[in-house]
Amino acid sequence: MQSKPVIRSQLRSRRRALSGGYRRLADRKIQKHALSLVRRCGARRVACYLDADGEVGTRQLIRALHEEGVQVYLPVVVPGSRRLHFRRCRPDGPLRRNRYGLAEPPPNSGPVVAATSLSLVLAPLVGFDPLGRRLGMGGGYYDTTFSFLHGRHWHPVRVVGLAYTCQQVASLPGAAWDVPLRAVITERGIVRFRRRTSGRWREWV
């Protein structure tokens, strides 16, 4: 199996190669599926992200969630750590660049909640496989932040990826600290993953 850096490079190139027209159509479909999931789960505190580097677009999704009365939170890098806090945002709220050049809400622009207080996390990713393994950018921020999910057969915090179908691969190398996804939302629908609970397999979303 290829290493994570090699797979990451290939998938980022594949994602960036998508045409603008395909991307816009896919983003609208993903938004529709995401809103359906939020309604079905009754999620009131939803973490999302601001897209970069060809990730699934989220600006319109964030606006649509606000219009439905959902509290939306964006990840904020905690200085000197590999953890994220989540700060409440509004569609036209102020943003600043963090040390990675990514946009995030500035201090005092909205209340902060811990990851354990979220209902649903719509997470960015570079790749995913049929077992729900997630390949991120390599910083380990999401895995560190949601490490409390390790070993839990069930938890109210649901981590769901947003991705284009082309980002799925047959298999990804796994590590003990990886936080598995409950599902991935693509332009083709919701890809659900199952986990063994009390001797039975069940879908997490």
Nearest to 29 by CA among 60, 54, 51: 60
d(CA 88, CA 94): 11
Please give the mean pLDDT across all residues of the chain: 90
**Tens digit of each residue's pLDDT (9 = 90 or more) over 54-65:** 999 999 999 999
**Tens digit of each residue's pLDDT (9 = 90 or more) over 98-119:** 888 889 999 888 899 999 999 9
Q: Does residue 139 register a pLDDT over 80?
A: yes
The pLDDT, as a whole number, for residue 132 is 92
- Record the pTM: 0.92
The domain ranges of the chain are 4-203
Query: 196 pLDDT band (50/70/90 cuts)?
Result: very low
Question: The domain 4-203: what is its CATH number?
Answer: 3.40.50.10420
Can you tell me which residue has the tokens 């319109």? Answer: 60
d(CA 139, CA 100): 11
Nearest to 67 by CA among 115, 28, 104, 35: 35
Joined together, the tokens standing for residue 36 give: 């359906």
